[in-house]
Structure 1
Amino acid sequence: MYTSQRSLLFPGAALGKGAPPAAPAWGRSVLIDTPDGETLHALHSPAEDDRPTVLFFLGNADNVDHYRFLSDALARRGVGLLALSYRGYGGSTGRPGEAGLLVDGLAAYDWLAASGQVRVVLLGQSLGSAVAVHVAAERPARGVILVSAFDSALALARSFYPFLPVGPLIRDPFRSDLRIAKAVQPKLFIHGDRDGVIPVRFGEALFERAPEPKTFRLYAGYGHNDLWSSALVEDILAFADQTAGD
């Protein structure tokens, strides 16, 4: 379990090897350099003047190519989207790990800021919620949307493997519970009440630790992998409009 834990935590890295695609699925392909020497692939759809950009941190088994529907929906309202492929994932160099992914998140935010896109709303889903919390704690984003979030990977692992000494063995604990206090922006938590991958109690635990302002929205009848819907996209748009204005 110790030696295989990163292959379990970052399955998308094994699925997404190779160079960035010559013809991106949506938007345009961009490359982002990190301060520790990696080059990250991302897909970017720019915002219209004075409109916000959503910086999206995906789940651990996901791929940026899958989000044309989100890019199109945001673009119809003038909202931009930058979806990041973590180190070791499709088109990006390096190998994934907690420390590296947190660096990646800050590098993506800084790339947007250097491009003049200052109305940034963070969106993190599942594992990406931990990256979003870290970025919110370190950068002046306008708002944070956390979908299927958890308080820590350590707590999740302990619930899944109660028979193992998880504490001393886990390499990537992703302690959002220790970082969320510095995320002072408006926060929207969204969770499915039938989520069997990250049960709702882990999202509620992080919500309880989060400072105000914050809102928790429970989607009845939804699990972990079927949460994307027109309602979720509309919630993202409404929150971006509410938080990213002057």
Structure 2
Amino acid sequence: MQNWIYILLIILGVYMFISVMLYVLQDYFLFKPEKLPKDFQFYYNNQEIEEYNIDTRDGEVINGLRFKTENPKGVVFYLKGNSKSIKGWGKFAVDFTRHGFDVIMVDYRGFGKSTGRRTQKAVKRDMQVIYNKIKEKVPEKYIILYGRSMGSGFAAKLASMNNPRMLILDAPYYSLSKVAKKYIPFMPLSLLIKFPMPTYKWLKYVNCPIHIIHGTDDRLIPYKTSVKLSKIKPELTKLYTVIGGGHKNLNNFESYHKMLTEIITTRPKKANLEGSSFHVKHASKRANAKA
């Protein structure tokens, strides 16, 4: 009996140790920030940029870039993924500026030149501050929210609290808790994870058009995740499938660029269902037999 108690205590101790380490080290696993010196100069070929710093209410600084166009049709607030800094992510701004849209990109706390300790609450608050700054100069009907991977959750949260023209989610997750549970199903993640990021909950309160883009060969966040998300607000959502697309290479597919062009340049039209087969039901076998 004593041996079983001893073994049980060891197992419990190991479990508690893993739990503590998971809580302490999860920032290291979730985020891969690139720090930039304060005097770093951003430069992009054939792109006009403006750098800015926004002071937060807790005394930190959020650094960002505006990619400028002449006579912009609107603004894309691009919320990037969990790695590097806007130094590298800035190259994707051209996918919107070439269509006449300004692009705003920011580095989350601890990324690039941005300062501060990351928490889910703090980052959500920071993104709302940036959104408010954009809204001061641009009516919301001209603001597009674009969330990429990690940024998809923050973009969904912003859309749920505001009224942008549309929300675009690129390789989104259902929730980070669900993603983590896939790899460590035996841990109490609801208690341990600092960034649960429940995208599926926030989407319930989004009232603008929702466009979801996902690759079928995404091994980090499976394609079926977007299928599930698309069912939350089906009347507002359109799912775009990049056949063969992975998690980090959608920009290398021509189909992705065709989809993006369609999304941001086409005005939505309500389908005229008069005279269509809408609501027409197939006859049952029994009905056919009687006939």
**Please, what TM-score do these two structures have when normalized by structure 1?**
0.89
> Which deviates more, 114-123 or 188-197?
114-123
* One-letter amino acid of the counterpart of residue 30, structure 2: L
Question: In the alignment, is residue 187 of structure 1 matched against residue 215 of structure 2?
Answer: no
Instruction: Give the 3-state SS of the residue equivalent to 1:3 in structure 2.
Output: helix
Q: How many residues get paired?
A: 242
CA contact (8 A) 1:143 1:243 kept: no
> Residue 64 of structure 2 is aligned with which of 25, 33, 42?
42
Structure 1: unaligned runs, 5 residues or longer: none
For 1:242, the equivalent position in structure 2 comes to 266
For 1:223, the equivalent position in structure 2 comes to 246
Question: In the alignment, is residue 110 of structure 1 matched against residue 132 of structure 2?
Answer: yes
C-alpha deviation, 1:10, in angstroms: 1.4
C-alpha deviation, 1:173, in angstroms: 0.4
CA contact (8 A) 2:72 2:101 kept: no
CA contact (8 A) 2:240 2:259 kept: no
Q: List structure 1 runs of 4+ shifted beyond 6 angstroms.
A: none
CA contact (8 A) 1:16 1:90 kept: yes
C-alpha deviation, 1:184, in angstroms: 1.1
Change (3 A) 1:179 1:91: same
Change (3 A) 1:236 1:131: same
CA contact (8 A) 2:175 2:196 kept: yes
Question: In the alignment, is residue 167 of structure 1 matched against residue 190 of structure 2?
Answer: yes
Instruction: Give the 3-state SS of the residue equivalent to 1:198 in structure 2.
Output: coil
Question: In the alignment, is residue 148 of structure 1 matched against residue 171 of structure 2?
Answer: yes
RMSD across aligned positions (CA): 2.1
For 2:287, the equivalent position in structure 1 comes to none
Separation (CA, whole Å) in 2 of partners of 1:88 and 1:60: 11
Separation (CA, whole Å) in 1 of partners of 2:257 and 2:53: 26
For 1:8, the equivalent position in structure 2 comes to 29
> Which deviates more, 156-165 or 25-34?
25-34
* One-letter amino acid of the counterpart of residue 266, structure 2: Q
Between the two structures, name the one with larger relative contact order (CA 8 Å, sep ≥ 6).
Answer: 1
Separation (CA, whole Å) in 1 of partners of 2:131 and 2:79: 11
Structure 2: unaligned runs, 5 residues or longer: 1-21, 269-291
Change (3 A) 1:7 1:175: same
For 2:273, the equivalent position in structure 1 comes to none
C-alpha deviation, 1:216, in angstroms: 0.6
For residues 68-217 of structure 1, the aligned pairs below 5 Å read 68-116=90-138, 118=140, 119-217=142-240
CA contact (8 A) 1:150 1:205 kept: no
Instruction: Give the 3-state SS of the residue equivalent to 1:209 in structure 2.
Output: coil
